[in-house]
Amino acid sequence: MDCLFCKIVSGDIPCEKVYENAEVMAFRDLNPQAPHHILIIPKQHLSTLNDFGAEHVATFGAMGLAAKEIAQSLEVDEQGYRVVLNCNADGGQTVFHTHMHFMAGRAFSWPPG
The answer to the question of residue 43 lying near Zn ion (CB under 5 A) is no
If the CB atoms of residues 28 and 44 are measured against ligand AMP, the closer one turns out to be: 28
Question: What's the closest the beta carbon of residue 80 comes to ligand AMP, in angstroms?
Answer: 20
Active site residue 99: yes
Which strands make up the sheet holding 100-104, listed edge to edge?
A: 17-20, 24-28, 36-42, 100-104, 81-84
Question: What's the closest the beta carbon of residue 43 comes to Zn ion, in angstroms?
Answer: 9
Judging by DSSP bridges, how do beta strands 36-42 and 17-20 pair with one another? unpaired
Q: Which spans of this chain sit near ligand AMP (rule: CB under 6 A)?
A: 4, 13, 15, 29-31, 39, 86, 92-95
If the CB atoms of residues 92 and 105 are measured against ligand AMP, the closer one turns out to be: 92
Judging by DSSP bridges, how do beta strands 24-28 and 36-42 pair with one another? antiparallel
In whole angstroms, how far apart are CA 9 and each of 13, 45, 56, 100?
A: 8, 10, 18, 15
Per CB under 5 A, the list member of 45, 48, 52, 82 interacting with Zn ion is 45
Catalytically active residues are 99
